[in-house]
């Protein structure tokens, strides 16, 4: 008979529950590795999302451009006179009463109810701002900031029935806006019109 030298194994009894110390340490080590990997993934993801020129900046630029286009389109549709980037005026109208001296785009339309003219002025020094003089009022204009990021106006073309304006957002692609005034016969050509 060969005596066998083996270590005696401890058998668990039916009433013992739980993990051994080695099992607990191994599971804690695995959880630490998974946690470190997840922390790295989130850190890189947040840095990527918040970096200048990221997708969030492009979405903001697209939203800004849409807001600007919506406001300008509404003003140009009712316009009798438009002046853009020193070109114009497009349409027959009275002078803008000195309100367009340091602006990029000026739009004027008749307010028949007040027998006066409304003037909207757009400028893009650091963001696009719209100033609105209502019914020929000499009071301070209503001012609204239309964008959260800078948008530059680079080129304007005034044609017979169309105004093309090229805009360059800080983040995003250059866009060309085609705007069409709906007033076929400006009311300034009609006798007694305010503008």
Lowest mean pLDDT among 11-15, 154-158, 187-191: 187-191
Q: Identify the burial level of 79 via C-beta atoms within 10 angstroms of its C-beta, where 0-12 means exposed, 13-18 middle and 19 or more buried.
A: buried
In a domain, 40, yes or no: no
Q: Does residue 28 fall inside a structural domain?
A: no
The pTM of the whole model exceeds 0.75: no
- Specify whether the CB–CB gap between 138 and 160 falls below 8 A: no
Residue 28: predicted pLDDT:
96
**Longest pairwise C-alpha distance within the chain:** 130
pLDDT recorded at residue 34: 95
CA distance 164 to 53: 27
What pLDDT is attached to residue 188? Answer: 45
Residue 83 within any structural domain of the chain? yes
Determine the structural domain holding residue 134 and report its residue range: 55-189
Tokens linked to 7: 């270590």
In a domain, 64, yes or no: yes
Measured between alpha carbons, how far is 81 from 91 in angstroms, rounded to an integer?
5
- Model pLDDT for residues 77-99, shown as the tens digit of each residue: 888 888 887 777 777 666 666 67
CB 104 within 8 Å of CB 85: yes
Model confidence pLDDT, tens digit, residues 110-159: 877 777 778 888 888 778 888 888 875 666 788 888 888 778 888 788 77
Q: What is the pLDDT of residue 35?
A: 94
SS (H, E, C) 132-144: EECCCCCCCCEEE
Residue 180 lies in a domain: yes
Q: What is the pLDDT of residue 94?
A: 63
Backbone CA torsion sign across 21, 27, 30, 36: negative
Domain assignment present for 69: yes
Work out the average pLDDT over 8-29.
79
Answer yes or no: is 78 within a domain.
yes
How many domains in the chain? 1
More confident residue, 173 or 31: 31
Asked, for residue 87, whether it belongs to a domain, the answer is yes
What pLDDT, in 10s, does the model give residues 22-51? 999 999 999 999 999 999 988 888 777 777
Q: Say what the pLDDT of residue 19 is.
A: 81
């Amino acid at each position: 008979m060969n005596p066998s030298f083996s270590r005696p194994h401890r058998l668990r009894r039916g009433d013992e529950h739980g993990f051994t110390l080695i099992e607990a340490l191994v599971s804690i080590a695995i959880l630490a590795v998974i946690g470190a990997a997840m922390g790295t993934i989130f850190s890189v993801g947040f840095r990527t999302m918040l970096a200048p020129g990221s997708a969030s900046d492009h979405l903001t630029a697209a939203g800004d451009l849409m807001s600007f286009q919506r406001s300008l389109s509404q003003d140009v549709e009712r316009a009798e006179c438009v002046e853009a980037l020193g070109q114009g005026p497009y349409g027959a109208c009275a002078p803008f009463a000195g309100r367009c001296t340091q602006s990029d785009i000026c739009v004027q339309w008749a307010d028949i109810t007040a027998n006066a003219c409304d003037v909207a002025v757009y400028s893009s020094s650091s963001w696009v701002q719209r100033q609105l003089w209502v019914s020929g009022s000499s009071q301070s204009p209503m001012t609204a900031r239309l964008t959260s990021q800078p948008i530059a106006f680079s080129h304007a073309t005034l044609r017979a029935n169309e105004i093309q304006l090229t805009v360059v957002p800080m983040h995003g692609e250059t866009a060309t806006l085609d705007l069409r005034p709906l007033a076929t016969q400006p009311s300034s050509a009609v006798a007694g019109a305010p503008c």
